[in-house]
Structure 1
Amino acid sequence: MGALLRQYRAGSALACEPVDQGLLNRGWRLCTTRGRFFLKHHFDPETATPAAIGRQHRATRRLAGLGVPVAPALPGRDGRTVVVIGGHCYALHPWIEGRHRHGGQLTEAQCGRLGALLGAVHAGLERVMPARGARPRGGPDPAAGVPDAGVSADPADTFALIDDLLGRVRRHRPADSFDALARHRLLERRALLERHAGRRPPRGGAVGWVHGDFHPFNLLYRGDAPAAIVDWDRLGLRPRAEEAVRAAAIFFVRPTGPLDLLRVRAYARAYRRTAGAAPSQLEAAVHRVWWERLNDFWMLRWHYERGDRRADPQFPAASALAVWWTREYDAVCEAFTG
């Protein structure tokens, strides 16, 4: 710790406490003789290169200049914001006091402000980041090595995955209630896909720079106002409207699976206005994210392939959402476009 702090003008450490670990990084709340900081250890192999982290830091610094609530990384003594020690990448950020809020805790007006905030992020990134097709300074194309975000899931691949997961569920011993729910949802999803296989969407729409992981645990509130958007590890070029829909599906899902469509409507109207997105773009994004949800089993793959159960608490609502969304497809479209 001392060697790392010497890279900054942050004083001497007085206390260091781990914060909840993310999937792409580890972090500590650090108190020093010069204040409080967030120390971040980037370790995800896809996002933890100095070039990629530096790109994230330049983006947040520029967004801060536009008034977007972020927590830009602090420069070290050499002016760089990424410190590499023992082959590991670290960054120091100011500590932001705040709390996370789910969409159900927001008023309708606050939902509108949330949509406007994401719209401001997309519009701001369009201003401060390299034009599409240009090579970003200090690193490779952020889409290089990443599966084509414009290609939708092939149901044939999903059917094979469902069969594999059903086999894993059958072999799991001792069987438990999670296995029973997983089996039920897998069989249910296979039937839905058989019924809707002809609705596979075409390639994605307008691509631009996006946060990449905009959800309640990456947004801090101080009182009623957003204080900071954090964890920019997935910054990249993706369909913007899909991020707006995907975020809403996380913020506004109820515990039993449905979306709170009144809140979605307020959020989506403000997003469209701020980002300059047409209703037709949101309609296409709704279709693509619905299809994505119908074909996605990452929580079950983590559980059965990796033995990682951190996402288990999210599975009941997320799996129910795909079924509800299919049934209420027209109402969901109207909420995002009306």
Structure 2
Amino acid sequence: MDGSPERSLERVAVEDEQGGLFLLEALKPETVDRKVSIAAALEALSLAGVKSLAPYLPHEPGRHILSLKDGHYQLSPYIEGSPLPRPEYLDQAWRGRAMAGFLVKLRRAWNKAGLTPEASDDFSLQDFVPDLVRKISARDPQLLKRISPALSLAEDFLPVLKDLPLGFCHGDFHPVNVIWGEESIRAVIDWEFCGMRPEMYDVALMIGCAGIEHPPAVSWNYVGAFLIELWKSGIYQKQSWENLFPLMLLIRFAWLSEWLRKQEEAMISLEIDYLNFLAKHAEDISSLFDSVQQSL
């Protein structure tokens, strides 16, 4: 099944009497309130016109979580997809255009639905990065030295966050969280981190995820087509475009935290190398992003 199984206690595909397939999830009790907010946000986005979703099904109007004596459950459509060809997708422009198209629809639906910060997980990079640095400094000073080139640049970038325009974002927007059709997006899944962010948060995260798979891919067809479509849409403010690279770099610290939490040594080393690669090539990558705007 697509998505992250760790986000629930258990997931199983079920079939109804008419042959319809659904995904039944047993929820961790501590996540129920958050799941209620996510379900409401997805319902509002769906009603506002975003079709590439798998919104949770209500068991009665406005109620998407079924709480029984033995636990809490939610149900969503089971959507079949095509495998993501990796790393071939990194040079497929149509996937970049599809990802951009989804963000355009999300932005316009958010404006129409009037989603509020109540749907947010209250995550803030401006608070998160310094807190992570303090924890690393106390627990593993050597690791702090290993990321010093990127950290120095990140500390310079942090102040720009407070002035960036905000928007409602998926929060974990990358192609593995997409159920792909043969030539389109069938659904975007795993909305656990959705909420109010700097408006280009999803953009920066997606490009960063392409780059960690293969750093030169930030200049390939997938990312290029993605950025061109977004620039043409006009949905983001100039200030956000000007700070796309700083946002991309800062988001990688959240990924480093994830690898540290899971104690995945190989990914920790890879993320450190990638952070320092981004720091070393900051001007080149920023110029690449600027060239997209100048070419249109």
Q: For this structure pair, what is the TM-score category when the shorter chain's length is used for normalisation?
A: 0.7 to 0.9
Q: Distance in 2 between matches of 1:124 and 1:78?
A: 21
The yes-or-no answer on 1:281 pairing with 2:257 is: no
Q: What's the TM-score once normalised by structure 1's chain length? A: 0.71
Task: Tell whether the 8 Å contact from 1:111 to 1:266 is kept in structure 2 after alignment.
Answer: yes
Identity %: 15
Of 201, 214, 226, the match for 2:185: 226
**CA spacing shift, 1:90–1:100, aligned 2, 3 Å:** farther
Shift of 1:276: 1.5
Give runs of aligned pairs for residues 146-161 of structure 1, distance below 5 A. Answer: 146-149=122-125, 151=127, 153-154=129-130, 159-161=133-135
Tell me which amino acid in the other structure corresponds to 2:89.
Q
Q: Give the corresponding residue for 2:230.
A: 271
RMSD: 3.3
**Following TM superposition, where does structure 1 have runs of at least 4 consecutive aligned residues deviating by more than 6 angstroms?**
none
CA distance in 1, matches of 2:217, 2:163: 23
Tell me the residue number matched to 1:125. Answer: 110
Does the CA contact (< 8 Å) of 2:39 and 2:56 recur in 1? no
Structure 1 residues 211 and 292, CA gap change in structure 2 (3 angstroms):
closer
In the TM superposition, residue 37 of structure 1 has moved relative to its aligned partner by 0.9
Per the normalisation by structure 2, the TM-score is: 0.79
Counterpart of 1:123, as a letter, is: R
The structure with the greater share of residues assigned to helix is 2
Which structure would you say has the larger Rg? 1
* Distance change (3 Å), C-alpha of 1:28 and 1:232: same
Specify the alignment match of 1:68 in structure 2: 51
Q: 1:214 to 1:45 in 2, by over 3 A?
A: farther
How many aligned residue pairs are there? Answer: 285
> 1:95 is matched by which residue type in structure 2?
Y
Return the structure number with greater relative CO, CA threshold 8 A, min gap 6: 2
Which position in structure 1 is the counterpart of 2:17?
33
Aligned-pair CA distance for 1:313: 5.7
Alignment-derived partner of residue 112 in structure 1: 97
SS in 1 for 2:51: coil
Q: From the superposition, tell whether residues 116 and 242 of structure 1 become closer, same or farther in structure 2 (CA, over 3 Å).
A: same
Shift of 1:196: 6.5
Amino acid at match of 2:81: G
State the distance in 2 between where 1:277 and 1:323 align. Answer: 28
Q: Which runs of 5+ in 2 are unaligned?
A: none
CA deviations on 1:47-85 (whole Å, 9 max, x unpaired) are 64464144234234324xx25311222232667332112
Shift in Å at residue 219 of structure 1?
0.6
Q: CA deviation at 1:314?
A: 4.1
In 2, the alpha carbon distance for the partners of 1:321 and 1:239 equals 22
Kindly indicate whether the alpha-carbon contact (under 8 Å) linking 1:143 and 1:236 is maintained by their aligned counterparts in 2: yes
Write out aligned runs for 1:169-318 (5 A).
186-194=144-152, 197-202=155-160, 203-250=162-209, 252-255=210-213, 257-262=215-220, 263-274=222-233, 276-293=235-252, 297-304=256-263, 309=264, 314-318=267-271
Q: Tell me, yes or no, if structure 1 residue 329 matches structure 2 residue 282.
A: yes
* Distance across 2 between alignment mates of 1:44 and 1:227: 30
The alpha-carbon distance between structure 1 residues 238 and 88, as it changes in their structure 2 partners (threshold 3 A), is: farther
Change (3 A) 1:62 1:33: same
Query: How far apart are residue 147 of structure 1 and its match?
Result: 4.6
Aligned equivalents of 2:25 and 2:261: distance in 1?
24
Is 2:76 the partner of 1:98? no
For the residue of structure 1 that corresponds to 2:56, the secondary structure is: coil
Question: Which consecutive residues of structure 1, in runs of 5 or more, have no partner in the other structure?
Answer: 1-17, 134-140, 168-182
**Paired letter, 2:79:** I
CA distance in structure 1 between the partners assigned to 2:136 and 2:189 by the alignment: 34
Moved more, 99-108 or 209-218: 99-108
Q: Are residues 207 and 44 of structure 1, via their aligned partners in 2, closer, same or farther at CA, if it must alter by over 3 Å?
A: farther
* Equivalent residues of 1:201, 1:291 under 8 A apart: no
Q: Matches of 1:197 and 1:149 in 2, distance apart?
A: 12
